Amino acid sequence: MHTVAVLALDRVIPFDLSTPIEVFTRTRLPDGRPGYRIRVCAEHPEIDAGVFTLRAPWGLDGLREADTVIVPGTATPAAPLSPAVRDALRTAARNGARIASICSGTFPLAATGLLDGLRATTHWLAAEALADAHPDIDVDADVLYVDNGQLLTSAGAAAGLDLCLHMIRRDYGSAVAAHAARLSVMPLEREGGQAQFIVHDCPPVPRGSALEPLLTWLRENLARDLALADIAAHAGMSTRTLIRRFREQTGSTPLQWLHRARVRQAQHLLETTEHSVERIAAQVGFGSPTAFRDRFKRTTGVSPHAYRRSFGRHRCPGPVPRVGPVRVAGPPG
């Protein structure tokens, strides 16, 4: 049977810890046999999980014979990784174990050096910090998960569920994975990536800066057909000077800033109104619904209709019934 070791580090995020336990424990093969054996492992017997303390039945030796090792996120991702945990993860990798991280669990996995030279992801809020701390890793903040073969990483929270279902499909095929997805009330594959969850606010500009009045005017005139020359004329400067000052104060060009502001306003309208996509396209200044759909999908990774299905005010999810008990394997003897 495939053994999954879930590594509980101090300040582990309970949701990230429970996701692989729930998903893998519920997985059944076509003949009804369980697909996985689960071990919760830790360096010390008691682990601080924030709102409670948990006791792990396995020590780090539980990683030695694991086929898969999961590293859940922690509330302190920048905390130093203990030499014992680092060595246990490296040894598991040398022994051929598949190692996957959930959310900020990418940070301790990155601290082992195993991700150097590879593409990886984490929660979009932490992606910049991961890239700064580990410049040898190609950090992609737009995707739900990255599969490098032996090493896998996922974005925040629910993306860990996407990753677990992906691994089940790798191990046992689509039929088994689809059944596990149904039990989790999840699609086997979600449309789009992590970009759809990013709040696309415009870059902040210090109060009193030379551009502040211009940016206020742009926000108030998103519906207008504004070219670069129009913006420069309103600002009373040449287009060349306008572009230079925009880059200095926002890190963006005027038209890039305008596109982001329009997409953010469109997200707000999709979330809070029942206006048609065509009407919203006009409200935020796109010349045609086609241009709006193209820009929106390039920015968020999903279509306006898909975004509304996920975040529109009409959504009212009901309770999800629990399906059976969860059993976690303890150590022998």
Cβ neighbour number for residue 26 with a 10 Å cutoff: 17
**Rounded average pLDDT over 78-100:** 96
Residue 132 per-residue DSSP state: H
pLDDT for 191 equals: 55
Cβ(83)–Cβ(134) below 8 Å:
no
Cβ(250)–Cβ(261) below 8 Å:
no
What's the pTM?
Answer: 0.65
Q: Which of 148-152, 210-214, 234-238 shows the lowest per-residue confidence on average (mean pLDDT)? A: 210-214
Between residues 327 and 238, the one the model is more confident about: 238
Between residues 244 and 207, the one the model is more confident about: 244
Give the mean pLDDT of the chain. 85
Question: Which stretches does DSSP call E strand in the chain?
Answer: 2-7, 36-41, 46-48, 53-55, 68-71, 98-101, 119-120, 138-139, 145-147, 151-154
pLDDT tops 80 at residue 330: no
